[in-house]
Structure 1
Amino acid sequence: MLQIEQTADGSYTLFVPEMNEHYHSVKGALTESEHIFINMGLKHSSVLSPRILEIGFGTGLNAFLTLIEAEKEQKKIHYTTIERYPITNDLAGKLTYPDLICPGKAKEFAELHRADWNTDIIITPYFTINKIKADFTCYPFKKGYDIIYFDAFAPEKQPEMWSQELFDKLYGCLNEKGILTTYCAKGCVRRMLQHSGFLVERLPGPPRGKREILRATK
């Protein structure tokens, strides 16, 4: 059974006892997501109306932060996210992300989790989401994405999610100058990304968190 745990920055994450794995860094769930996916991913892209692909919807934190950024910058974003094992709406509500991040957007956070699957759902005039309930490892990706948030569980927990074949597919579905960001900076992951054709940067990790992260550009 999933367990809620508070992380060092006051935000919450989920712990999976069967895998001995957390959904987010225990050193700061919010800090990690903002740094890796918003600051180093979304804000690094010059695309005016980006199409984003997220590998692992999880708690919805990355999507929520992206929605807030879209509203702030008045930038229309289409957000596709692939999740095989979605959490319940009740559990999502207990994470209380809106209370900590943006109380005025509590309704929108709930709508992210309640949104129907496998279809475009307009959450705000600037944010449309398409949640795909599927196995990422065998999903037939379409081309046309500008940014990829790669937020799967760690390679040692789910090695099937970190393969050369899958990174090749992700490279193929990105537009030119497209960006992939991930928390994992392992040498084997960096080399697979490079082999796919990406230009890979090792960047400083989030404050008080991982020492390095990766950003890969097509």
Structure 2
Amino acid sequence: MKRTLLKTGDGSYTLHIAEWDEQYHSKHGAITEALHVFIKEGLYHWSAKNTATEIFIMEIGFGTGLNAFLTYLEAEKSNFKIDYTGVEAYPLSLSEIEKLNYTSLLNASKEIFLQLHDVTWEEKKNISEKFRLTKQKKLFSEINSENNFHLIYFDAFGIRVQPELWTEEIFQRMYNSLKPNGVLVTYAANGNARRAMQAVGFFVERLPGPPGKKEMLRATKI
């Protein structure tokens, strides 16, 4: 599928798929959305309630690497370490990645951002003393983890274009992958997705969403 560069509301770029009329991040602000959904309501929320010094995170939809990069930046200024697993079935090309402007807007290292994408698939790599990355190239339906993660960033394409990624089957795999009291956060607030989460055992909260989105969801394994 053809992907084109799109400037979002906060000046950061995302990639647009014309065939689906869908983009990798919110058109209202790629960085703003990621910080609100995954860092504030995910990482900050979990770390405030737990004392673990190493946090295990899985991202569903590694995509542009923005969520991983923001999490790396948080780890560098925190008192915890992060072991990060990014799952992606259809990786972006380096030429697409190099066009993204996240590092200039964040005043952060482009070398590190590109290194996240250069890591060999299926190999664990120490990006720094505080951030370790493993990328897995596979379908979300192939995830078979058991009690491995404290936190899941669920950043799949929307239910309108890929409803098969928002089913009880997928959320059962997410539930199984989390440790007890683990948390899943997503930008979505669709009722069908929320009910699928609840059906597999999650306690689901509706939260204020990022700009352009009224609500988002946070699900806790109970």
1:211 aligns with 2:204: no
State the alpha-carbon separation in 1 of the partners of residues 129 and 94 from structure 2. 23
State the alpha-carbon separation in 2 of the partners of residues 108 and 93 from structure 1. 12
Superposition pairs of residues 57-206 of structure 1, within 5 angstroms: 57-103=62-108, 105-206=109-210
State the alpha-carbon separation in 2 of the partners of residues 79 and 123 from structure 1. 10
Contact 2:205 2:217 in 1 (8 A): yes
**Unmatched segments (≥5 aa) in structure 2:** none
Contact 1:50 1:77 in 2 (8 A): yes
Which whole-Å deviations, capped at 9, do the CAs of 1:45-71 have from their partners, x for residues lacking one? 123211000000000000000000000
Matched letter for residue 75 of structure 1: F
Alignment RMSD (CA, Å): 1.0
State the alpha-carbon separation in 2 of the partners of residues 86 and 107 from structure 1. 19
TM-score by length of 2: 0.94
State the alpha-carbon separation in 1 of the partners of residues 177 and 143 from structure 2. 12
State the alpha-carbon separation in 1 of the partners of residues 178 and 89 from structure 2. 22
Partner of 2:19 in structure 1?
18
State the alpha-carbon separation in 2 of the partners of residues 99 and 213 from structure 1. 28
Matched letter for residue 94 of structure 2: N
State the alpha-carbon separation in 2 of the partners of residues 136 and 193 from structure 1. 15
Q: Percent identity?
A: 46
Q: Structure 1 residues 145-154 or 208-217, which shifts more?
A: 208-217
Contact 1:52 1:148 in 2 (8 A): yes
Contact 1:59 1:87 in 2 (8 A): yes
Matched letter for residue 220 of structure 2: T
TM-score by length of 1: 0.96
Greater than 2 Å deviation, 4+ residue runs: 138-143
* Alignment size in residue pairs: 216
Matched letter for residue 90 of structure 1: S
Q: Give how far 1:138 is off.
A: 2.4
Which whole-Å deviations, capped at 9, do the CAs of 1:27-55 have from their partners, x for residues lacking one? 01100000000000011112321100000
Q: Give how far 1:139 is off.
A: 2.8
**Unmatched segments (≥5 aa) in structure 1:** none
Contact 1:137 1:160 in 2 (8 A): no
